[in-house]
Structure 1
């Protein structure tokens, strides 16, 4: 790809990684519409380290508190002694499903599941699930039931949201989308669901990015252009990703996810329609 393409795809990654509309889908759709080559699953995983850096910077106080409490808990023999140390363990437990299923289904995730048919269907399916979660949340609010805060997340919540995160291995589903949806079904507030979603993503995104760097290093290092393009895409993804986190957390304090639901439905239907008429190749 050209440097221009790399920067554009980095911006796309940053814009869509945290908003529940699927970064993987857009990294597949934008090149298809522009007539560019599919950058591939490895490219997507590597430039996600840019958005990983955005999470680390934005949530550095939370991460430092959780990490410190985790280490202190282990050293003192009281690993679950505080809410922050417990949160560290829950993030670890919640990461296990995506690691297991990511390794089990690595080949189809990188090949057949990147079909635009899968992506279009996944965009629509999660929009319907997110809509159901919003409806349930509004019913609970009408009955005067308060949503859970971050401090009230338990082991069951962490594990179930972790299994939901594994669904994000299917392109088009969206990591933030499936985890926020699961959080809403588990009675978390929208903002709490988003915050936990971002924290939960850290180990998985780091592991995937490092693995793909190791696996693809010979191809990457064989060309200075490849390294430059990856660096540019990762940097632009990080900068735009930081702004996206700030936007989403602020937006969800006073808005529902209805805007994203409508966007997913329209985009999914557009993709399937263009595939049916030959405007896009799967």
Structure 2
């Protein structure tokens, strides 16, 4: 791979992984404008690992508290709000783990077309727009209703968000987009919906990276470690910046700008692949 390919692709991955706009759809755009070859499995692992490092570093203090509290709940130290959140992340990850193992072949062969992604961007974008509009309407009528956060999720909320995350396996859906949508529909406030979505990404990216690593071992191909490390660093830095800016702005701008962007991108993909 050339350095320009590494920089552009790593930036796309880092900037779109945590936004509700579908990173897979953006990577699909690259062949439309360039003649670059497929980046390969090793590169995919590198940029996803960079995204993982970014979200872990951003939430490092929270993760330490969650881990201590979660372990404490197992050894009999009681159940506080951090421990409950730790368990919520685990239980909400189960559906996507099972769905990923069962539907992996179908998703990779039948749902990777630009046409399919275009429809997914539009359909789930409209659903995100409705969820955000509904939340804003409810908040305007009753400001106290915006106090529901990630530390006080009910079992029903955890289940709905967890099962919605399984839909993210559909290309063009956006994992962050569908989990934020579900959380908003279940009455969780905007910032908490985004934070819980980002925390949920940690076990998902870990599982996906482990699975890809097993596949990589079976590929007898040379690995350019220097370029892979650069891709990881670029993805990590851009993803960290994305998380920081998104969480800082989400209360003021809401989800509608991302909904409009999804509709435009989806329409463009349909135009290109119709």
Scaled by the length of structure 2, the TM-score of the pair is: 0.93
Residue 190 of structure 1 is matched in structure 2 by 190
Alignment of 1:82-231 (within 5 A): 82-145=80-143, 146-147=145-146, 148-219=148-219, 222-225=221-224, 227-231=225-229
**Residues 40, 171 of structure 1: CA spacing in aligned structure 2 closer, same or farther, 3 A cutoff?**
farther
Instruction: Measure, in 2, the Cα distance between the counterparts of 1:247 and 1:41.
Output: 29
* Bigger mean CA offset, 11-20 vs 41-50: 41-50
Query: How far is the alpha carbon of 1:40 from its aligned partner?
Result: 6.1
> What is the SS of the residue equivalent to 1:224?
coil
* Bigger mean CA offset, 8-17 vs 21-30: 21-30
Instruction: Measure, in 1, the Cα distance between the counterparts of 2:106 and 2:5.
Output: 26
Does the aligned pair in 2 maintain the 1:10–1:233 contact within 8 Å?
A: yes
Residue 59 of structure 1 is matched in structure 2 by 59
Instruction: Measure, in 2, the Cα distance between the counterparts of 1:233 and 1:110.
Output: 24
Does the aligned pair in 2 maintain the 1:41–1:110 contact within 8 Å?
A: no
Does the aligned pair in 1 maintain the 2:14–2:47 contact within 8 Å?
A: no
Instruction: Measure, in 1, the Cα distance between the counterparts of 2:122 and 2:39.
Output: 23
Residue by residue, what CA displacement relative to the aligned partner does 1:54-76 show, whole Å, maximum 9, x if unpaired? 01000001110000001111111
Does the aligned pair in 1 maintain the 2:42–2:228 contact within 8 Å?
A: no
2:59 matched to 1:72?
no
Instruction: Measure, in 1, the Cα distance between the counterparts of 2:154 and 2:14.
Output: 30
Does the aligned pair in 2 maintain the 1:46–1:208 contact within 8 Å?
A: no
Residue by residue, what CA displacement relative to the aligned partner does 1:91-141 show, whole Å, maximum 9, x if unpaired? 111000110110011112223211111111111111110111022112212
> What is the SS of the residue equivalent to 1:172?
coil
Instruction: Measure, in 2, the Cα distance between the counterparts of 1:113 and 1:207.
Output: 21
> What is the SS of the residue equivalent to 2:19?
coil
Residue 13 of structure 1 is matched in structure 2 by 13
Number of residue equivalences = 272
When the two chains are superposed, the root-mean-square deviation of aligned CA atoms in Å is 1.8
Scaled by the length of structure 1, the TM-score of the pair is: 0.90
Q: Which runs of 5+ in 1 are unaligned?
A: 277-282
Instruction: Measure, in 1, the Cα distance between the counterparts of 2:135 and 2:106.
Output: 34
Instruction: Measure, in 2, the Cα distance between the counterparts of 1:101 and 1:39.
Output: 26
Runs of 4+ in 1 over 6 A off after TM superposition: none
Instruction: Measure, in 1, the Cα distance between the counterparts of 2:223 and 2:133.
Output: 51
Instruction: Measure, in 2, the Cα distance between the counterparts of 1:32 and 1:228.
Output: 27
Instruction: Measure, in 1, the Cα distance between the counterparts of 2:42 and 2:96.
Output: 16
Instruction: Measure, in 2, the Cα distance between the counterparts of 1:33 and 1:122.
Output: 22
